[in-house]
Chain A
Amino acid sequence: MSDRVALVTGGSRGIGRAIALALAESGASVAVNYASSAAKADEVVSEIVATGGNAVAVKADVGDPDQVAALFTTVSDQLGDPTILVNNAGITDDGLLMRMSVEQWDRVLATNLRSAFLCTKTALRPMLRAKWGRIVNISSVSGVAGNPGQGNYAASKAGLIGFTKSIAKEVGSRGITVNAVAPGFIATDMTDALGASVTDAAAQQISVGRLGTVAEVASAVRYLASDGASYITGQTIVVDGGLAL
């Protein structure tokens, strides 16, 4: 991927961070987008640069059209036009539906789904010009199987799967693939906070017998972003250790 530019939305922490590092390891120049964690994003960039890679951190709320336009302009100016896009930015704001506010619904849908629309639309122009592109949307097992308390989040993540299939059909003839990766229970700061009793109970539901790592998710993304995955499009790769089986 040495001549490629990749943009990872929400790339400063967790799964996004691991994806940024993996793509950089494969030789891509990586734009690490972040909404608020500037210091964390800078750390990712430093880590990539320290190993001889090329990366920049770019702040933008990817649910906002003007900020997305500015994000792509900055990336193109600093690294070149991105032809690998990973729509990873996502938030949760859980609650049982009977208690969920309109604001909770809209905020999660804007960050998780509207952002993919805005970024993909903007990224397609350079990809069409290059007649090559890789779009990977980070969905979730919640979007595949549903999860109580995550009506908004699951809807956004299931929405990404339908979006993935539709755009795959639109641009498949132009050398551009669009796929989704649906992680299951992945060990992050968020799951650490739940405590060992919760995560041990969760692990019992997983065929592999443990939580996944962010690197294991990034590995699937790296493959889908590679030249070798040119005949895979519109798919959702579930990376959950057999949780949803």
Chain B
Amino acid sequence: MERSDIESKMKELLVEELGLDEDKITMDATFEEDLEVDSLGVVELLMALEDNFGVQIPDEEAESLVTVGEAVDLVQKKINA
């Protein structure tokens, strides 16, 4: 899967699952401050990523995610693993 495909799917999930404003979602945007996603929101995103990409994301790896781009990196790494 191309990185651009993961990016567009990530945006789609953030809009659909977390109800975020699409215009605010950039790869540099931080979940907590820029997008105001709470801790449960991050858990919901991880569940959606696991369901949509067929990957498993352990909590310890998820905890370090700060930006949308980092989440894309992690999914890409998991898909290629």
| Contact surface of A with B, Cβ cutoff 8 Å | 125, 128-129, 170-171, 173-174
The A-contacting residues of B in range 5-62, CB under 8 angstroms, are 38, 40, 44, 47
The 9 closest A-B pairs by CB, nearest first: A128-B44, A125-B47, A170-B40, A171-B40, A174-B40, A128-B47, A173-B40, A173-B38, A129-B47
Smallest Cβ-Cβ distance to A170: which chain B residue:
B40
Complex Cα distance A2/B28, Å? 44
Complex Cα distance A82/B6, Å? 30
| Contact surface of B with A, Cβ cutoff 8 Å | 38, 40, 44, 47
Complex Cα distance A176/B57, Å? 25
Smallest Cβ-Cβ distance to A129: which chain B residue:
B47
Complex Cα distance A171/B56, Å? 23
Least Cβ–Cβ distance between B30 and chain A, in angstroms = 20
Residues of B contacting A125 in the complex (Cβ-Cβ under 8 angstroms): 47
Smallest Cβ-Cβ distance to B51: which chain A residue:
A129
The A interface is mostly helix, strand or loop, or mixed, namely helix
Complex Cα distance A174/B37, Å? 13
Smallest Cβ-Cβ distance to B40: which chain A residue:
A170
Smallest Cβ-Cβ distance to B38: which chain A residue:
A173
Residues of B contacting A170 in the complex (Cβ-Cβ under 8 angstroms): 40
- Contacts beyond the supplied A125-B47, A128-B44, A170-B40: 5 A-B pairs with Cβ under 8 Å: A128-B40, A128-B47, A129-B47, A173-B38, A173-B40
Residues of A contacting B47 in the complex (Cβ-Cβ under 8 angstroms): 125, 128-129
Residues of A contacting B40 in the complex (Cβ-Cβ under 8 angstroms): 128, 170-171, 173-174
Complex Cα distance A129/B47, Å? 9
Smallest Cβ-Cβ distance to B17: which chain A residue:
A129
Complex Cα distance A174/B40, Å? 9
Complex Cα distance A37/B20, Å? 48
Residues of B contacting A174 in the complex (Cβ-Cβ under 8 angstroms): 40
Least Cβ–Cβ distance between B18 and chain A, in angstroms = 11
Least Cβ–Cβ distance between B55 and chain A, in angstroms = 16
Complex Cα distance A129/B18, Å? 10
Least Cβ–Cβ distance between B37 and chain A, in angstroms = 12
Complex Cα distance A174/B39, Å? 13
Complex Cα distance A161/B38, Å? 25
Residues of B contacting A171 in the complex (Cβ-Cβ under 8 angstroms): 40
Least Cβ–Cβ distance between A131 and chain B, in angstroms = 9
Residues of B contacting A129 in the complex (Cβ-Cβ under 8 angstroms): 47
